[in-house]
Chain A
Amino acid sequence: MPLIKNGAEIANDWVFVAEGAPLPETGRFSVSLGRFLALKQGQENGPLPDGVRLSPADKAEDLEPYLAELALIEIDFPKYTDGRGYSHAQLLRRRYQYAGELRAVGHVLRDQIFYMHRSGFDAYETARAGLSEVLEALNEYSVVYQPAADPSVPAFRRRS
């Protein structure tokens, strides 16, 4: 599936390891939050991943102690109408200052990408929008009203 990050299509060298599947000895991979915590806390033994995939019902707060060790957090949108992933992203990027890759996966459509970008995502795995569409979506608005996790300056600051 195409992966778009920072305005370019890039190769995806990460693998998501499903629940119960064996952990690979080499290569980069992500696991669910539950499995990540089990590995960190010694309830499961195996190679430690530096990627985690969050589901909508997960508590993003649980990752706070480990953020410096993580290179990738995937936030899953099983349904694009489920907006919990936007709150995960804002918490990770703004409150906890996570600096690694924040990737939207799942049902990712062109018209969510502007909101995702503002919430702190920098990578989008989507079968439904090509590079040109993602770039178009990112540039649909030149003015925003509220601060968020992206660098956009809200209108009320530009006014003064």
Chain B
Amino acid sequence: MYRYDQFDARIVAERVAQFRGQVARRLSGELLEDEFKPLRLQNGVYLQLHAYMLRIAIPYGQLSPRQLRRLAEVARDYDRGFGHFTTRQNIQFNWVALKDIPDVLEKLAEVEMHAIQTSGNCIRNTTTDHFAGAAQDELLDPRPWCEIIRQWSTFHPEFAALPRKFKIAVTAAEHDRAAIRVHDVGLHIRRKDGVTGFEVWVGGGQGRTPVIATLVNSFVPESEILDYLEAIMRVYNRYGRRDNKYKARIKILVTELGEAEYIRQVEEEYAAQRPHEKIALTADEIARIHAYFAPPALAAKPAVSERLEAAKAADPAFARWTRVNLHPHKAPGYASVTVSLKPQGIAPGDATDTQMELVADLAEKFGHGDIRVSHAQNLILPHVALDDLPEIYAALDAAGLGTANESRITDMIVCPGLDYCNLANARSIPVSLEVSKLFADPAYEEDIGRLHINVSGCINACGHHHVGHIGILGVDKKGEEFYQILLGGRADEKAALGNIVGPGLRAEEVPGAIHRVVEFYRAQRTSKDEKFIDTLERLGHQPFQEALYAAD
């Protein structure tokens, strides 16, 4: 993984000193709260319902064991013993005191971490495939380009006060696990005539106006990608709407201009760049950054592990976990493991200090020191030998981390909702936990197969309800929480937005309604190989809607 050199370390140290000064000026009253707000936001500090929240950047979701242990320490010493992993592959702490935040940042800087641009109207953490560098189906490892984008976008002087936040995602696999078509900019790495480059998608997004991105350029060579991004950003900074925060995202600019005119403006700005304006990233620098992401030295192993097969035969629960939570690795005899942060009864994405330390230990002992955070709010050990899976599972299971539900119905993406967030209209965690209860039987859940439920507590869509196979959206009706159900969304390479079906439901009606929809699917599917989303596409939404509202 990337390691800081003297320059990276100095920038982060200088940021800590700067933020310490800003906090001191706020606490002394020199800075008004309105003036402090954009400063704290660009350092990940939100004022939530009960306290300040600190969001820490995990660039493209990668952590070392040392970093994860430091996050555990922060959870223990400055929060209430847990942290919450987010859909932007970051982590947030909900109970940190403002006066302590500079000290927390200093501790993070010691392990090459920061909270820069995790919030505010700037370029946020660039996200990618959580199996990057390990997945069988990737063209190449997208992380070096994420790091290059991280550095370019850090304290970019022109783009520090954008109309609104800006999110970039990168994938290099045909099966898109980074949801690039619902990002402000989505980059798909391609090869053409021996040159690496990027397919550039712009103007996707969720929130109150969900939009699937527009293909703006089918191939920008790697040597030009930062200059091309500068053109995209400049057009947005100058012409994105600033009169209404809900119309300020780049998707609205693309929609209002129309695809053709938007593309023309970007191409015109790009063509106007003069030679001395080009970033001209050096080949040495590109090579230097790529060298940090060299694949781990994996001992050659047979594709089938006898040890694993014997353990599976002896323990059906373990066998199920290996069927559900493993992802194929490039190297035979290895797999990527999903450590589920979605057990029954726990807020999705939460991990305690001791759980974080356990995952750090396992990564060190069995996983080449590599840990990822997925946008689905789980942890990943990307490089694990099949032979070691029995020990890993035993340790995870003993710590409540052995749930076999990766991409299954209880592996929900859920925003913090009204329990924490001052934007929310409804609670999202309790309703997700109630739905999960109905699918607690692991055999039943495995039988249902791949099914994504995404839950948001308001139309800002932090829980990605537009792109869940089933979306649940909390709304407020005259002081009472209601939940609208959406069907048919997906965030992958066939990205689509879900449709709201019928009137909202009371919280207590939601689990039963979801259960009826799932049972309807099981009755209608042609075989177990036909996934929920495929049956839904084949039959259309109408019969599913009827099932949703049928009386029990």
Contacts and interface: CB of A to CB of B under 8 A. Distances in A.
B354 interface: no
B478 to A, nearest CB: 34
B154 interface: yes
Contacts of A66: none
Interface string A130-156: 000000000011111111100000011
B18 A140 contact: yes
Given A80-B161, A156-B281, A157-B282, A141 B155 contact: yes
Interface string A111-133: 11011111100000000000000
Contact of A118 (B7, B121, B157, B282): B157
B537 interface: no
B18 A86 contact: no
B35 interface: yes
Interface in B15-59: 17-18, 22, 35, 38-39
Given A142-B10, A142-B14, A156-B281, A83 B161 contact: yes
A30 interface: no
Nearest to A94: B277
A118 B276 CA distance: 16
Q: Is the interface of B mostly helix, strand, loop or mixed?
A: helix
A49 B274 CA distance: 29
Interface string A71-88: 000000000111110110
A160 interface: yes
A118 B160 CA distance: 11
B161 A82 contact: yes
A159 B5 contact: yes
B152 interface: yes
A141 B277 contact: no
Interface stretch (B211-219, B234-242, B405-413, B460-468): B234-242
A159 B279 contact: no
B441 interface: no
A143 B7 contact: yes
Contacts of A119: 157-158
Contacts of A156: 151, 281-282, 285
Interface residues of A, number: 35
B155 A144 contact: yes
B156 interface: yes
B237 A83 contact: yes
A90 B158 contact: yes
Interface in B263-308: 272-274, 276-277, 279-282, 284-285, 288
B180 interface: no
B154 A145 contact: yes
A94 B278 CA distance: 10
A39 interface: no
Contacts of B234: 87, 90
A146 B279 contact: yes
Contacts of A142: 10, 14
B158 A148 contact: yes
B279 A147 contact: yes
Interface in B424-483: none
B272 A86 contact: no
A109 interface: yes
A88 to B, nearest CB: 8
B536 to A, nearest CB: 43
B513 interface: no
User: Most chain-A Cβ atoms within 10 A of its Cβ — which of B38, B158, B161, B238?
Assistant: B158
B11 interface: yes
B159 interface: yes
Interface in B115-139: 121
Nearest to B284: A160
A84 B285 contact: no
B17 A140 contact: yes
B12 to A, nearest CB: 10
A141 B285 contact: no
B162 interface: yes
B162 A83 contact: yes
A117 B158 CA distance: 10
A81 B157 contact: no
Contacts of B162: 83
B285 A114 contact: no
Given A82-B161, A118-B157, A148-B157, A140 B14 contact: yes
A45 B338 CA distance: 73
B7 A158 contact: yes
Interface in B142-170: 151-152, 154-162
9 contacts: A81-B161, A82-B161, A83-B159, A87-B234, A94-B274, A111-B39, A141-B155, A146-B279, A155-B8
The 9 closest A-B pairs by CB, nearest first: A83-B161, A118-B157, A155-B7, A156-B285, A115-B157, A145-B151, A160-B284, A86-B158, A143-B7
Given A87-B237, A114-B157, A143-B7, 15 more contacts: A82-B161, A83-B161, A84-B237, A84-B242, A95-B272, A95-B277, A115-B155, A115-B158, A116-B157, A141-B11, A147-B279, A148-B157, A156-B285, A159-B288, A160-B285
Interface of B: 5, 7-8, 10-11, 14, 17-18, 22, 35, 38-39, 121, 151-152, 154-162, 234, 237-238, 242, 272-274, 276-277, 279-282, 284-285, 288
